[in-house]
Structure 1
Amino acid sequence: MIRLILLVILLLLSLLAVCKAPAYYLWLMAIMVTEYPLIFVGISVLLTSWGIWNIPYRLAGNVIGIIAIVLFLSPIVRAYWISKSLKQDMVQSLSGADTARVSYPYRQPFSLNKLIASAQPSQFKTHTYVNYPDIALKLDFYQSRVLGKRPVVIVVHGGSWSSGDSQQLPELNGFLAGRGYHVASINYRLAPQYKTPAPVEDIENCIKYLRKHADKLYIDTNKIILLGRSAGAQIALLAAYTLHDKAIIGVIDFYGPADMVWGYSIPSNPLIMDSRKVMVNYIGGKYEQVPAKYVACSPLEFVDKQSPPTLIIHGYNDVLVAYEHSRRLNEKLQQNGIQHYWLKLPWATHGFDYNINGPGGQLSTYAVETFLNTITQ
């Protein structure tokens, strides 16, 4: 009986690999289920194998266990199939007529061996990049391990515009430093004390700081890329599309809200997050009170034919920032003929890249590296 109960629990958890999480803590579990699948596969195999012996409910337990194993394996299988065409898909999307323009890594986008690998920590130095009268903002600088003046990626953390810091999800920063990119992971002014467009102003000041210290930090100031996650992606996109800085040669959007007007009209599941309250704290009022501000901080409103190349990465099962945001941004980029690529991850939820070696983490890291290699040539 205990075996059957445990297998039923595992079956319910395995549904998070194919369905959207209905509550906050189940969303956190969904990240574990989809990006650390081998752990759950192993537990399910052990419990199912227990049914070899003649124990009560053996058949029912075996059936439930096998279904759970299949569902836990589904992110791996789907990642494998996406990886088979990812290289070619990115070449077609980013190259235009000249396929030689796309520079992709000489490795496979997805590897089973990497699923059991651990990310290596990377060293960084902290710098104060701007002093306001009431606050000083710092950035963590990951030095490129390739010599010479190198491009710099400015990373903007997530956290609903009100939390998080520069040391959030550092594994990608260290990976990119190893691939020849400087990374400046920044702190910015947080809501509700500070409202939009304060974080965009912070990015502008970060760029000024990096330019001023470019010789000391070995930065190629003609090649600046913005990367943001969630709320940080909204900030990065808005900065890329509104600062009109020719040195910003690309922007990378991890599951960011691109249409704040539409996002307010369709709030997220209240059992996971009160998205309207989050937006009000950041923007400074309800949409009915300050509609122009919602338009002003919607990145897709500012896409035009001069916008920089864009990489969009989003999981279909995202329960915090709707997948529709990326569909709308992708459509706007297509309409304006902007070089871009949208990596769609059918099983992934918000924050899937917590594990850089998980199914979604591997594919997104490959896409980021390919995108950076291409736009910095």
Structure 2
Amino acid sequence: MTRWPLAIWLLLPVAGAVNSATAQPYNAETTYRKLVAAYPYIRIASSTAPAPVRVCKDIVYARRGELSLALDLYSPGPRDQAAPIVVLVHGGGWRSGDRSEMAPLAVRLAARGYAAATVSYRLSGQARYPAAIDDVKEALRWLHAHPEVHGADVDRMVIAGGSAGGQIATLVGMTSPGAVQAVINIDGLSDFTSEEARRHEDDPSKNPSAAGAWFGGRYSEQPARWQQASPINHVSRASPPVLFIVSSVPRFSVGREAMTAKLHEHGVVAKTVALPGTPHSFWLFDPWVTPTVDAMTGFMERVFGGSPGG
């Protein structure tokens, strides 16, 4: 693995990843233990970057009081033309997880010629909705303002995320369409207010549910937040193209079909790639990382009219 030049390091402040104290943190290791009995052939995907991929970690993009929010950059290495950049948003039910979850996707995208940035944001135990949305938008602004640091083409920027990160990425893409040229939602919700979503996310036996903790109340208590956080409610003719990559567990991508229809009504490209037989969180594991990256790069090649070097 090669590293960024020392001169670049000297320009950048360093901060650790943001975490939230939870009894059962969301990461590849804890998820593996849940899945391995049903899927004994899975392996946690490696986040080791192959040469000539360059990695620069712990770059502070914003400060919220005493809290530093950071991102990690992955570059495809020396090239004649600036690469498109994919901003990756981690999952964890809005209350757990960290950006290291997205490193396996980031290194594989960089190996295929795309720059990538994995970003931290405030979790629900640190700040409720819309803090996470504001943070990810701030990360986009930072990347747009500092092309000299990452060397990527900000006019070819994609936002992607998995699970809760897929919902966040899609909401950010729908509410700030000029900032990104495409959205990739990996098994994330598109509509919190649908009957199916509320059956899981507004379950009174969960006190609170993951969504309820983020919104600061159940649907009956905070209906405006549940509606505002639903990407489907922000679709317009200005919306960027969207790719949905979904598992075989439909509850995690609720709202996708209705949102796809709404995007099509506005003349916006929306595609779905389903990975049969996969559990939720499939993008953290082999053998599913490669088809996930295949779907992502194929979609981006269509959006940008060719390969990242084209």
The residue number in structure 1 matching 2:11 is none
Q: C-alpha distance in 1, partners of 2:295/2:152?
A: 23
CA contact (8 A) 1:154 1:185 kept: yes
The residue number in structure 2 matching 1:224 is 157
CA contact (8 A) 2:86 2:159 kept: yes
Identical counterparts, % of pairs: 26
The residue number in structure 2 matching 1:201 is 134
Q: C-alpha distance in 2, partners of 1:276/1:314?
A: 26
Are 1:351 and 2:281 an aligned pair?
yes
Q: Alpha carbons of 1:375 and 1:190: their partners in 2 closer, same or farther (altered >3 Å)?
A: same
Q: C-alpha distance in 1, partners of 2:207/2:271?
A: 27
Instruction: Read off the aligned partner of 1:373 and give its amino acid letter.
Output: E
CA contact (8 A) 1:35 1:352 kept: no
The residue number in structure 1 matching 2:248 is 316
Q: Alpha carbons of 1:279 and 1:29: their partners in 2 closer, same or farther (altered >3 Å)?
A: closer
Q: Alpha carbons of 1:260 and 1:182: their partners in 2 closer, same or farther (altered >3 Å)?
A: same
Gap runs ≥5 in structure 2: 1-29, 306-310
TM-score w.r.t. length of structure 2: 0.78
CA contact (8 A) 1:167 1:185 kept: yes
Q: C-alpha distance in 2, partners of 1:179/1:369?
A: 8
The residue number in structure 2 matching 1:371 is 299
Q: Alpha carbons of 1:117 and 1:165: their partners in 2 closer, same or farther (altered >3 Å)?
A: closer
Shift of 1:328: 2.8
Are 1:157 and 2:85 an aligned pair?
no
SS at match of 1:203: helix
The residue number in structure 1 matching 2:55 is 124
CA contact (8 A) 2:182 2:242 kept: yes
The residue number in structure 2 matching 1:88 is none
Where relative contact order (Cα < 8 A, 6+ residues apart) is larger, the structure is 1
Q: Alpha carbons of 1:157 and 1:323: their partners in 2 closer, same or farther (altered >3 Å)?
A: closer
TM-score w.r.t. length of structure 1: 0.65
Are 1:302 and 2:234 an aligned pair?
yes
Shift of 1:372: 1.7
The residue number in structure 2 matching 1:186 is 119
Instruction: Read off the aligned partner of 1:221 and give its amino acid letter.
Output: V
CA contact (8 A) 1:283 1:294 kept: yes
Deviations 1:38-93 (A, max 9, x none): xxxxxxxxxxxxxxxxxxxxxxxxxxxxxxxxxxxxxxxxxxxxxxxxxxxxxxxx
CA contact (8 A) 1:34 1:347 kept: no
SS at match of 1:210: helix
Deviations 1:88-119 (A, max 9, x none): xxxxxxxxxxxxxxxxxxxxxxxxxxxx9974
Are 1:36 and 2:41 an aligned pair?
yes
SS at match of 2:177: coil
Q: C-alpha distance in 2, partners of 1:251/1:223?
A: 11
Larger proportion of strand: 2
Gap runs ≥5 in structure 1: 1-24, 38-115
Q: Alpha carbons of 1:376 and 1:291: their partners in 2 closer, same or farther (altered >3 Å)?
A: same
Q: C-alpha distance in 2, partners of 1:26/1:177?
A: 25
The residue number in structure 2 matching 1:331 is 261
Instruction: Read off the aligned partner of 2:231 and give its amino acid letter.
Output: P
Instruction: Tell which structure's C-alpha radius of gyration is larger.
Output: 1
Size of the aligned set, in residue pairs, is: 268
Cα RMSD over matched residues?
2.7
Shift of 1:225: 0.5
Q: Alpha carbons of 1:141 and 1:351: their partners in 2 closer, same or farther (altered >3 Å)?
A: same
Instruction: Read off the aligned partner of 1:193 and give its amino acid letter.
Output: Q
Larger proportion of helix: 1
Shift of 1:369: 1.0
Are 1:242 and 2:175 an aligned pair?
yes
Shift of 1:277: 1.5
